[in-house]
Structure 1
Amino acid sequence: MADTDSIETDGAPSTDNPYSQGVRAGDALYVSGYGSVDPETGDVVDGDIAAQTDRVLENVAAVVDAAGGDGLADVVKVTVYLTDLEEYDAVNEAYGARFGDDPPARVCVEVSRLPDDVRVEMDATASLG
């Protein structure tokens, strides 16, 4: 197995499931999938899909920061999982507001269900070099 470091932070939700919040392999950071769960309470955030998208991106940024990166600025690839593609435009608006004019590569797929019954989840890859 490659030389890797597991990344853990209180700034993102943690579980007792068998996975790391993030794994650093050289200059690459692989961030596990996060839904719209508040790390302090463990609850899904209230609000519309934009508020939930914001929380997801805050969780991703916290893991990047914990690995020594610069939050969303270091993210190069994101996969977005939505339980309802009717919310695609609203997610894009919230997502675009966080990434601005130089967004990362991205995939978006509709799924039937996500853990904790969240409506949006994202995983990410960041470059820390």
Structure 2
Amino acid sequence: MSTNTHPSLSAVSTSNAPAAVGPYNQAIQVGDLLFCSGSLGLDPSTGKLVEGGVEAQARQALKNLKVIIEAGGSELGKVVKTTVFLHSMDDFKPVNAIYAEFFGNHKPARSAVQVARLPLDALFEIEAIVSLA
């Protein structure tokens, strides 16, 4: 079976963020919205998880998300909704502090969930929906 991408959708990709670790795009733009795939704390130059635990991974994942959003033609202040995936809810407080520092006064809608396992055994992942308007 072969499915082609509909012409109303545009893939977003940047070499300033890690390549997708599977058969998906870094983000997809449709209309005035940008849907960003989950970002892990991967170093874009090595493709490996950064060292330093959940805080280092969260910082790097947020940096990766930012460059993907910018490559898609938007900015952090236009993030509408994020979903945060944590390996352990015990990391909620330190991750929350990094998240708040990253977004500043902008407070997008958000969900945060603990999951059994993340790709590459990561400790943190974040996805986002972003306005282009």
What TM-score range do you get, normalising by the shorter chain?
over 0.9
**CA distance in 1 between partners of 2:77 and 2:47 (Å):** 26
Q: What code does the residue aligned with 1:51 have?
A: A
Determine helix, strand or coil for the equivalent of 1:5.
Answer: strand
**CA distance in 1 between partners of 2:21 and 2:47 (Å):** 12
TM-score (norm 2): 0.91
Bigger Cα Rg: 2
CA-CA distance at 1:78 after TM superposition? 0.4
CA-CA distance at 1:68 after TM superposition? 1.2
| RMSD over equivalenced CA pairs, Å | 1.3
C-alpha contact (below 8 Å) 1:50/1:91 kept by paired residues = yes
Quote the residue 2:29 is aligned against: 24
Report sequence identity in percent.
38
> How many residues are treated as equivalent by the alignment?
128
CA-CA distance at 1:16 after TM superposition? 5.7
C-alpha contact (below 8 Å) 2:53/2:123 kept by paired residues = no
CA-CA distance at 1:49 after TM superposition? 2.0
TM-score (norm 1): 0.93
CA-CA distance at 1:52 after TM superposition? 1.3
**CA distance in 1 between partners of 2:63 and 2:21 (Å):** 21
Quote the residue 1:120 is aligned against: 124
Quote the residue 2:85 is aligned against: 81
1:11 aligns to 2:6 (yes or no): no
Determine helix, strand or coil for the equivalent of 2:64.
Answer: helix
**CA distance in 2 between partners of 1:16 and 1:51 (Å):** 19
CA-CA distance at 1:17 after TM superposition? 2.0
Unaligned 5+ segments in structure 2 are 1-5
Unaligned 5+ segments in structure 1 are none
